[in-house]
Amino acid sequence: MSYPITDYLKEINENSQKKSISYNGPNEGDSFVLWLTGLPCSGKTTIAKGLKEYFEYRYLKVAHIDGDEFRKNITPELGFSKKDRFTNLMEATNIAKTLFFNGLIVICSFVSPYLEDRKKIQSNFYHDNFLEIRIDASPETCEKRDVKGMWKKARDGEIKGFTGYDAPYERSPVGFCINTEVADEQMTIELAADYIENWRRKAGEMYV
């Protein structure tokens, strides 16, 4: 099975050689990067998939870069030290930039626990084409949702440096947060979509 992000990059490379894609690309200037951050199993991937469907329904081209799939397919050699986490996020950021500059909406769902790393990610984009949203849930709720058993392995000492258990998650002092404990799946997607649409509208008004 092919990995969608690799397929996107291949398509971009082929179209670039044909010179058939303009700077704005298929979304005609509506592209942006959305970065979903939060504890493992907090709901990032679920919301990302829902938002992807939301924008595709509006005939926009969207790429979703999921943290677990990215490590599996792009950076399998990297571990979970602070240095390796940063390297992994920079790899993802560079791919997100490529997709964004070719006109795609890019939704990235990564734990990305360190505030300094997230600031570095954001510094690669203008403020009106990058948005960070924190997806929040308690460690207890995250563990209950964890079908892979990662939280239990962390408690049993099988995984070291697990974010939310024996490694920190640093919250941004400002920014939008969605608590997935107080809203159901559909509502969290709608909350995120409404916030993004308002943000896009305000960003667009800056250039009117």
The domain that holds 177 is classified in CATH as 3.40.50.300
Per-residue pLDDT band for 11 (boundaries 50, 70, 90) equals confident
Q: Find where tokens 């009106």 sit.
A: 128
The proportion of the chain whose per-residue pLDDT surpasses 90, expressed as a percent, equals 79
Exposed, middle or buried, 174 (CB in 10 Å: 0-12/13-18/19+)? exposed
Q: Is residue 23 part of a domain?
A: no
Residue type, 192: A
Strands 33-37 and 62-66: unpaired
Q: What is the rounded CA–CA span in Å between residue 21 and residue 23?
A: 7
37-86 per-position pLDDT tens digit? 999 999 999 999 999 999 999 999 999 999 999 999 999 999 999 999 99
At CB < 8 A and 24+ separation, what contacts does 199-208 make? 199/131, 200/30, 200/32, 203/32, 203/128, 203/129, 206/128
Would 129 be classed as within a structural domain? yes
- Quickly state the pLDDT bin for 24 (edges 50, 70, 90): very low
Indicate whether 30 pLDDT > 50: yes
* pLDDT recorded at residue 27: 60
**Domain total for the chain?**
1
Average pLDDT over residues 30-35: 95
The answer as to whether 195 is a domain residue is yes
What does the pLDDT average to over 10-38? 70
Within 19-66, residue ranges assigned H as helices are: 44-57
- Catalytic residue, chosen from 20, 109, 112, 123, is 112
8 A C-beta contact, residue 103 and residue 61: yes
**Reported pTM:** 0.90
Question: Is 20 part of the annotated catalytic residue set?
Answer: no
In a domain, 186, yes or no: yes
Look at residue 144 and tell me if it is in a domain: no
Query: 10: which 2 tokens?
Result: 């291949």
Residue 130 lies in a domain: yes
CA pair distance 153, 146, nearest whole angstrom: 11
pLDDT tens for residues 106-123?
999 999 999 999 999 999
188 occurs within a structural domain:
yes
Average pLDDT over residues 129-157: 96
- The answer to whether 93 touches 124, Cβ cutoff 8 Å, is yes
How far, in Å, CA of 159 to CA of 148, rounded?
13
Classify residue 104: in a domain, yes or no.
yes
| Structural domain span for residue 33 | 28-138+169-205
pLDDT tens digits, 171-201: 998 889 999 999 999 999 999 999 999 999 9
Please tell me the predicted confidence (pLDDT) of residue 22. 39
> What is the chain's mean pLDDT, rounded?
90
